[in-house]
Every structure is written in structure tokens, then in C-alpha cells.
Amino acid sequence: MTNDTTPSPGWHGTTIIAVRKNGRTVIAGDGQVSMGPTIVKGAARKVRVLAGGKVLAGFAGATADAFTLIERLEAKLEQYPDQLARACVDLAKDWRTDRYLRRLEAMLLVADRNSIFTVTGVGDVLEPEHGVAAVGSGGNYALSAARALIENTDLDAETIARRSMALAAEICVYTNGNLTVETLD
């Protein structure tokens, strides 16, 4: 017998993937919001365009927490224009050291034309080695599919992101096929 007493509210993740290939950067995210075993929304937008169309950000985790972090990231991008790495590092530093921010439960994928970063509340700012990063409950499924497709096919970044998300949606019960896809050329 299993114990179904997960901590309230029992939020489970999502799937967000970033793919960079041949000068094109794409972030895609599913639209499912789950609370425990229940789907409460199927068409949430978890991918945003920032910095006047120069930066993309996707999030997994608590929505209000993610919006707070995206607002903070936007402020950092204004403070450090065209310096995505510096803005992400500064956000991660604040996130880890600020008493209020360190309680936020979310992860961000942030990208511009040249870089992709995974930003976490434990101070991580990670740049992927293969032009692909993913977060969320279906992140490992999407990441595996994208890694195989990016290295072994001639598919473009958006097609790779869409196919990887479709695979994650087939495997992860907290991921659906209702996608938000944003692209930088």
C-alpha cells in the first residue's frame, strides 16, 4: 500500500527544453499544471520573451515563484544589457543569499542567441555542452531525445524541441502536448 500524503499542495513539474542549433535558439514548454494527481490547467504559458525580444526564459516549479524570478532576471538584464551570463550569475547569487528568494521553488532555462543557461536556487548557472538543456519532471526524457536528434539528424532547433517535447509528453504524466514555443534567430 502506498502513502498518498504528499506535502501540500503537491505540485509536480513540467517540461521545458532549450535547443540551440545552426544559429537558432528555441525554448519550448508544455502547458500542464498539476496539483497532486489532478490536472488543474492544460494551457499555461511557461515560456517568456524578455529584454525586448533578445532573451527567452522558461520555468518549471511554482508559478508565482517563477514569475518573481523572471521579474528579477528582467531587472538584471536591464542592469547588464547584452550580458546574459552576468545577469544569470547575479540572479543566482541573489537567489541563494536573499532570505526571501532562497525559499522560492522553481528552475529557469534562460537563453539568448549565443548561450543557454540553467539557473537554480542553489547557485547553479550551468551552460550545456551540447546546445541542449531541459528542466522539470519530463526534462530528462526531452533532454535525451533532443541529444539524440541534435547529434544524429539534420533537423532544425524548433523541430528537435517539438519532437523532444512530444516524447516527454508520452512518458511523463506531468507533461502535456500543449506547447508554447519561442524562437530567436
Query: Measured in Å, how far apart are the chain's first and last C-alpha atoms?
Result: 51
Which of 5, 48, 34 minimizes the C-alpha distance to 176?
A: 34
Q: Does residue 120 carry a catalytic annotation?
A: no
121 within 8 A of 79, measured Cβ to Cβ: no
Rounded alpha-carbon distances, angstroms, from residue 72 to 34, 92, 145, 177: 25, 10, 31, 29
CA dihedral angle for residue 87, residue 88, residue 94, residue 97, rounded to 10 degrees: -150
Distance of alpha carbon 16 from alpha carbon 46, whole angstroms = 8
Catalytic residue among 2, 14, 15, 97: 14
CB atoms closer than 10 angstroms to residue 102: 13
CA dihedral angle for residue 21, residue 26, residue 32, residue 36, rounded to 10 degrees: 60
Give me the active site residues, please: 14
